[in-house]
Amino acid sequence: MSAIPSVHTAEAAPLGLRGLVADWSSDRQAFHIAWGKVMMWIFLLSDTFIFGSFLTGYMTVRASTTVPWPNPSEVFSLRIAGTDLPLILIAIMTFVLISSSGTMAMAVNFAYQHSRRKAALLMFATAAFGVMFVSMQAFEWTKLIHEGVRPWGNPMGAAQFGSTFFMITGFHGLHVSAGVIYLSVVSTRLLRGRYEKRGNYQIVEIAGLYWHFVDLVWVFIFAFFYLW
Amino acid sequence: MSGPATQQQQQHQQHPIGLYLKVWLLLFVLSAMSYGVDYFHIQGLMRWSLIIVLMLLKAGFIVAVFMHMAWERLAFICAILLPPLALLVLVGLMASEASHTLLSRLLFFK
């Protein structure tokens, strides 16, 4: 009761914005993990809610429409060498994205071994796979738009098909595109030796987290939108 | 708990490359299997359960190995992986909402 040490420390504590940060953090750390990684995970958590809400919205409109839903297996089929292959482009896109996740995981490994040339090359490969994915998505969009699919209707069935399709795959494609830019920036800096100077290669793992998340979201879109 | 070895691992997620290659291969196989679900026209309950199981397996391997969640501390795993479960509540609410809407549409607008 008698101890009023706060007078002294309150004077020492910083004011203003700096004080706000100091008071809230109080030099305490809940997670014994580098802060950059924690922040990326928290961002990904918020992104999980965005995609989760999109997919829930899609479930709602698909379950409540009285018009039959277009069969994705037929809508996304391609005619290759005279045979109709169901969902073939989507399957290839899935494999491309998984390949990119593999090269990214290896890049993180090589970055921590301080072999920056190998790590940067693998990151460029990852970004190239990302570009491939977005290009195939652009092709798919073009094909569907030519077939008359619009956000407000389509000739195959329920009008909500178009709106959810463009919304969900568009938002995911945006994430892939942003990831390609992010990876290109980080790998260029890696190659130039910026992280070698600091002796800290964590940024490669953080960029990797983002990239794997993009792949993770695709797993759910593939299951719920294309296969269901 | 936090000897120098584990401390090192907390900071640097470094694991044998063979592990990544194995998981990579596994993800390919699982994706091929989920494509197979559509290709071989598996229908009904079998289709839904296969889609969900393969999806969860793929997601689990990506998060656990590629995103290194398997080696993070439990407090952090809980902080990140438990909150998304709240989405299940939203899914439940919207599923009942959707069936209500469907019934109303069938009753009054058909």
Q: Which residue from A64, A102, A222 is facing B101, i.e. has the nearest CB?
A: A64
pLDDT at residue A30 greater than cutoff 90: no
Q: What is the DSSP letter of B67?
A: T
pLDDT of amino acid A64: 94
pLDDT at residue A76 greater than cutoff 90: no
Interatomic CA distance for residues A164 and A55, integer angstroms: 9
- Asked if A216's CB is within 8 angstroms of B62's CB, the reply is yes
Q: Which of A90, A99, A102, A101 is nearest to A168 (CA)?
A: A90
Interatomic CA distance for residues A94 and B31, integer angstroms: 7
Output b/e per residue, A67-87; b: 16+ Cβ within 10 A. Answer: eebbebeebbbbeeeeeeebb
Q: How confident is the model at residue B82 (pLDDT cuts 50, 70, 90)?
A: very high
Residue by residue, DSSP assigns B22-44 as HHHHHHHHHHHHHHHHHHTT--T
Chain A residue closest to B43 (CA)? A228
pLDDT at residue A167 greater than cutoff 80: yes
pLDDT at residue A43 greater than cutoff 80: yes
- Asked if B87's CB is within 8 angstroms of A65's CB, the reply is no
> For A188-217, what is the mean pLDDT?
90
Question: What angle do the packed helices A160-192 and A35-64 form, to 10 degrees?
Answer: 160
pLDDT at residue B1 greater than cutoff 50: no
CB B34 within 8 Å of CB B56? no
Tally A–B CB contacts below 8 A.
Answer: 142
pLDDT of amino acid A121: 94
* Main-chain phi, psi angles of A79, to 5 degrees: -95, 110
- Asked if A91's CB is within 8 angstroms of B21's CB, the reply is no
End-to-end CA distance of chain A: 65
In whole numbers, what is the pLDDT of chain B averaged over residues? 87
pLDDT at residue B4 greater than cutoff 60: no
Q: Which residue from A59, A98, A205 is facing B91, i.e. has the nearest CB?
A: A59
> For A139-155, what is the mean pLDDT?
92
pLDDT of amino acid B3: 40
ipTM of predicted assembly, 2 dp? 0.88
The secondary structure of chain A, three-state, reads CCCCCHHHHHHHCCCHHHHHHHHHHCCCCCCCCCHHHHHHHHHHHHHHHHHHHHHHHHHHHHHHCCCCCCCHHHHCCEEECCEEECCHHHHHHHHHHHHHHHHHHHHHHHHHCCCHHHHHHHHHHHHHHHHHHHHHHHHHHHHHHHCCCECCECCCCCCHHHHHHHHHHHHHHHHHHHHHHHHHHHHHHHHHCHHHHHCCCHHHHHHHHHHHHHHHHHHHHHHHHHHC
The pairs formed by B82-89 with CB atoms below 8 angstroms and a separation of 24 or more are B83/A45, B84/A45, B84/A48, B84/A49, B84/A52, B87/A48, B87/A49, B87/A52, B87/A53, B87/A56
- Asked if B51's CB is within 8 angstroms of A227's CB, the reply is yes
Interatomic CA distance for residues A152 and A159, integer angstroms: 6
Interatomic CA distance for residues B18 and A162, integer angstroms: 42
Q: How confident is the model at residue B24 (pLDDT cuts 50, 70, 90)?
A: very high
* Alpha carbon of A104: minimum distance to chain B alpha carbons (Å): 9
- Asked if B67's CB is within 8 angstroms of A212's CB, the reply is yes
pLDDT of amino acid B5: 43
